[in-house]
Amino acid sequence: MQAEPSPLAPVLPQGCTNFKLRQLMRRVANHYDAEMAQCGLKTTQYSLLSHVLKLGPIRPGDLAVAMKMDASTLTRNLRPLVDAGWVTLEAGADARSRLVHITDSGRDKRAEAQRHWKDAQLALNEALGVERVMALHALVDESMDLLAALPVQAHGHAD
């Protein structure tokens, strides 16, 4: 006679959580990237413009910390924005320091991009439902808080 499964046996998640989250992130990122591409920006560039607008003028090191990004990644991501004339790197309080400033054309580009970002967000809300998006935000925030206690392994880059 075979024993029946115990109703008290724990039900465990099936599949790899990392893989599932990466699949979701790729799909969401592609959705935002496609919308942002309509104004000629990458989502990372929009995020940078938004942070500089909100926090600037700001030292690059402080901006990197605020964005949870390492300094070399920030420098690499700032370069196209400087080249486009949307931000400037100007002298700071002393000869060794610099400050990141947003320019008027950077403010205009950010405003244009914000409309596209809003369209992407509204389309996502429509596809998933506002309640599910709010629950997803809460679950992510709660999970980040719970995972904060785990040791972080350095891999030379920050997400």
pLDDT digits (tens, 9 = 90+) for 68-104: 899 899 999 999 999 999 999 988 777 677 899 999 9
* pLDDT over 50 (residue 159): no
Higher pLDDT, 22 or 90: 22
Q: Which two tokens stand for residue 11?
A: 């039900």
- The confidence band for 15, taking pLDDT boundaries of 50, 70 and 90, is confident
Q: Are 59 and 99 in contact (CB under 8 A)?
A: yes
Q: State the pTM of this model.
A: 0.77
Element (H, E) at 140: helix 130-147
* pLDDT over 50 (residue 157): no
Mean pLDDT (whole number) for 51-62? 93
- Burial (CB count <10 Å: 0-12, 13-18, 19+), residue 154: exposed
pLDDT digits (tens, 9 = 90+) for 115-154: 999 999 999 999 999 999 999 999 999 999 999 888 876 5
Query: In this structure, what are the phi and psi dihedrals at residue 87, rounded to the nearest 5 degrees?
Result: -135, 160
- The confidence band for 5, taking pLDDT boundaries of 50, 70 and 90, is low
